[in-house]
Amino acid sequence: MRADRLVAALLFLQQRGRVTAADLAEELEVSVATARRDLEALSAAGIPVYPQPGRGGGWSLVGGARTDLSGLSATETQALFLLVGPAASVSAEAKTALRKLVRALPQTFRADAEAAAGAVMSDRTGWSGLDRSRPEIVDLLQTAVVRRRKVRFTYTNAVRERSERVVDPWGLVDKDGTWYLIAGTERGQRSFRVDRISEAEPAEDTAERPDDFELARAWDEVVGQVEQKRSRTWATVLIGTRYVPILRSHFGRHCHVDDELDDGRSRVRIAAPTPLDIARNLAGWGAMVEVLEPVSVQKELARIGAELADRYTR
């Protein structure tokens, strides 16, 4: 978006004081001709930018004119509006922040900035009617993370066992509408699904957090553990090559094409936690999918087929 590039050019001028078209081209990763046109566009738009010809010359801001968005690059400016824009559709605070952010831009660029911010919105309610909006408890947990306060809560695990926990909150992750708390416990780093947390309250004790903790790296570890559990059973199947994308949509990253055969089918490797999980996903395909191995998945399919035949055969 050119508006973002022009803002970045203005900020670069503000930082350097005086730049050449070649300097700006290198910074914005554009041609020198494009950089020169951008500088001329700034001047034509009423920004106090003027050229100084001759040896050691360049472009400068008259009187050291400044903006309130110091240090942002073109991509950072665009990312900022695109990130705040969706949040503004569901958060009054984000909407207020976005309005202030737009006002910090030169008047010439505000229309394009508002358009960028409004290009994406967030509707967290699925077609099934399930509300995927941010749970209220996330605010409490986020405050505890920022203020480094321990949190006490009741946790219900996957098998509906309840336990009382006191943890050091380290970070929060929104995984496609499902929130997770990454925290330190007596047994090391643990992750908790926020929708299984109840009766949460901050404690007075200060939470401890490792100096080298990085939320992205911690979440990668969680994802790796989950994916390992989800891929305990592997099966090899034959399916029409044109249906492979559909199969991949069911199994995600646990679907790998080994070979494309001459008869229009592909040999594909798929994975799930158990043989039954694989069989349940494949049963609806009928004879369109042939399971080559393992026997455990074949037996589960045979059992499911026998149950259906027994129930619906008249």
Cβ atoms within 10 A of the Cβ of 69, count?
Answer: 18
In sequence order, the 6+-apart residues with CB closer than 8 A to the CB of 24 are 9, 12, 35, 38, 39, 59
Considering the domain 231-312, what is its CATH architecture? 2-Layer Sandwich (3.30)
CATH number (3.10.310.70, 1.10.10.10, 3.30.365.10, 1.10.240.10) of 1-123 reads 1.10.10.10
Q: How far from 127 is each of 130, 210, 246, CA to CA, in Å?
A: 7, 41, 20
Q: Give the pLDDT of residue 133.
A: 67
The letter for the amino acid at 171 is: G
Helix axes 2-16, 32-44, angle to 10 degrees: 90
**Over 70: is that where the pLDDT of 116 sits?**
no
Q: Which residue ranges make up each domain of the chain?
A: 1-123, 137-213, 231-312
Query: What are 72's two structure tokens?
Result: 């942002």
Q: How far from 113 is each of 1, 24, 98, 99, 166, CA to CA, in Å?
A: 10, 21, 10, 10, 44
**Over 90: is that where the pLDDT of 237 sits?**
yes
Residue 287 parent element (H or E): none
Is there a contact between 203 and 150 (Cβ–Cβ < 8 Å)?
yes
Is there a contact between 183 and 189 (Cβ–Cβ < 8 Å)?
yes
pLDDT interval class at 70 (50, 70, 90): very low
Q: Give the pLDDT of residue 1.
A: 42
Per-residue pLDDT tens over the stretch 125-137: 555 566 666 788 8
Q: Give the pLDDT of residue 216.
A: 85
Whether the upstream peptide bond of residue 294 has omega within 30° of 0, thus cis, is yes
Tell me how far apart the alpha carbons of residues 290 and 295 are, in angstroms, rounded to a whole number: 12
pLDDT interval class at 122 (50, 70, 90): low
Residue (of 13, 47, 49) closest to 28 by Cα position: 13
Q: Give the pLDDT of residue 80.
A: 57
Tell me how far apart the alpha carbons of residues 49 and 298 are, in angstroms, rounded to a whole number: 73
Over residues 109-123, mean pLDDT:
58
Of residues 207 and 109, the one with the higher pLDDT is 207
CATH number assigned to the domain covering 137-213:
2.30.30.520
Please state, for a pLDDT cut of 70, what percent of the chain lies above it. 73
> Would the pTM of this model clear 0.95, i.e. be above it?
no
